[in-house]
Amino acid sequence: MLLNAARSHLMVIDMQARLMPAILDADQIVPRVRTLLAAAQRLGIPTTVTEQYPKGLGPTVPAILEALPRDPVVLPKTAFSAAGDAATMERVAALRGEGRDQAVLCGAESHVCVLQTALGLRSAGLNVFVVADAVSSRASQSVSAACARLLHAGCHWVTTEMVVFEWLEKAGTDDFRALSALIR
């Protein structure tokens, strides 16, 4: 199944100030998430940002906040799974009512909040795409374990480039010219 911009919803999971310094390859993850945010904004794809217990883990890192649209939807949560949070699921349900049945997930940590959110959304009937090069954990084994479990559960394991080019569908457009420059 290919991603489709009109059916997609981007979710940035828990990329927070006190967590990201401990995340493996965070310096590579943040720019990829920014690329996904730029593509989503350009193509009119709604974005939801979650924050796990922001009182303890702090707000979303500035590099991500700066890349959000003017009126971002940032939802605090205490459940590890965003699918276990009522406000997040109200938003998911509203977007699903508009035909957005593809959830594209990026963020931290792969084996906890991203995994639990993906499995919860999958159980709720959404098509779930986890962006492999835009998720991470404190240890590489945790990322590998999350990948195996997500694939076994029927989620899709994709890359930033796969997402952007599937959303674009074709070359030769103004959107392609603007977004392909972010990939190079």
| Residues forming the active site | 14, 77, 113
| Residues contacting residue 11 through CB under 8 Å, at least 6 positions apart | 47, 48, 49, 50, 82, 103, 104, 105, 106, 107, 117
Task: Confirm if 136 and 21 have CB atoms less than 8 A apart.
Answer: no
Distance CA 33, CA 78 (A): 22
Token code pair at residue 184 = 């190079």
Task: Confirm if 155 and 124 have CB atoms less than 8 A apart.
Answer: no
